[in-house]
């Protein structure tokens, strides 16, 4: 599970994240929802340890992302926004490279890579070099790569960006499979419908702050809007500077 406690992060004069806190429990899908530039990516980057928070802390299964970052990373499978592959390696080699880096026993690597290829249904193009892959193929391979060490916590930054209907659907199926396996899935999106269809908990972020953190029904109730989109707009207004 992922616990975020009062994270602040500034880039120069820009105060991108201003005290974000939330929990993402195991066996549930948590959605980080917000308009562009709300601080979603920055928050997730702190969680997968490429950024250090200025204030506050974040724990991955109890491991602090700053002081125990190697431990924390062992428990995370991260798909950053626009994650790229190595174009001269095949999809399988891309995945196997990450498997080796994650310290999987050399004898077990082939099997593990085969498993993940089957899980993500990328067998058809697994042995082709990734140069020229479609966005959907690329995202799947990148996802396979970040899941190869079987992490308990999965962090996806706008994973459905640029995907067509079929690819989005298979991504959704995969996320549900991960949830059923008891994993903690945290993903960000700026698309209300997508989050509403999938998430158990929704954390709406705007202007670097948490506007509301509740289930879809809870959000409807608290904002007094039946329509989720209206609720989203209403929630954002609550934290907008006057």
Residue with tokens 């500077």: 241
Q: How far is the CB of 152 from another protein (least distance, A)?
A: 13
* Residue whose token pair is 């390696």: 89
84 binds another protein (CB under 8 A): yes
Of the residues 1, 16, 91, 102, which one makes contact with another protein according to CB under 8 A: 102
Q: Which is nearer to another protein, 15 or 100 (CB)?
A: 100
**Which of 208, 215, 187 has its CA nearest to residue 2?**
187
**Using CB under 8 A, which residues numbered 120 to 159 contact another protein?**
129, 142, 145-146, 149
Site for another protein in 63-82 (CB under 8 A): 70-71, 73-74, 76, 78-80, 82
Under the criterion CB under 8 A, does residue 25 sit at the interface with another protein? no
209 φ/ψ sector (left φ>0, alpha ψ -120 to 50, else beta): beta
The SS3 of residue 145 is helix
Query: According to CB under 8 A, which one of 89, 119, 191, 233 is a site residue for another protein?
Result: 89
Residue nearer to another protein on the CB measure, 90 or 223: 90
Cβ neighbours of residue 180 closer than 8 Å, sequence gap 6 or more:
none
Number of residues engaging another protein in binding (CB under 8 A)? 34
Indicate the angle between helix axes 106-119 and 91-101, nearest 10 degrees: 130
């Amino acid at each position: 599970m992922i616990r975020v406690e009062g994270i602040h992060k500034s880039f120069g004069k820009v105060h991108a994240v201003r005290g974000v806190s939330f929990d993402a429990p195991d066996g549930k899908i948590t959605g980080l929802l917000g308009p562009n530039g709300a601080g979603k990516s920055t928050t997730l980057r702190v969680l997968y340890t490429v950024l250090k928070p200025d204030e506050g802390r974040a724990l991955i299964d109890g491991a602090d992302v700053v002081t125990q970052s190697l431990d924390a990373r062992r428990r995370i499978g991260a798909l950053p926004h626009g994650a790229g592959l190595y174009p001269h390696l095949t999809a399988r080699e891309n995945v196997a490279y990450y498997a080796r880096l994650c310290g999987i026993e050399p004898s077990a690597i082939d099997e593990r890579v085969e498993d993940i290829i089957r899980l993500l249904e990328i067998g058809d193009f697994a042995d082709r070099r990734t140069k020229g892959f479609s966005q959907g193929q690329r995202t799947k391979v990148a996802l396979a790569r970040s899941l190869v060490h079987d992490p308990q916590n999965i962090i996806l930054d706008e994973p459905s960006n640029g995907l067509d209907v079929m690819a989005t659907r298979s991504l959704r199926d995969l996320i549900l499979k991960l949830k059923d396996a008891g994993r903690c899935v945290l993903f960000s999106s700026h698309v209300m419908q997508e989050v509403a269809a999938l998430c158990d908990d929704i954390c709406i972020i705007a202007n670097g702050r948490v506007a509301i953190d509740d289930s879809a029904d809870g959000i409807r109730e608290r904002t007094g809007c039946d329509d989720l989109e209206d609720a989203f707009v209403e929630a954002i207004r609550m934290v907008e500077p006057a």
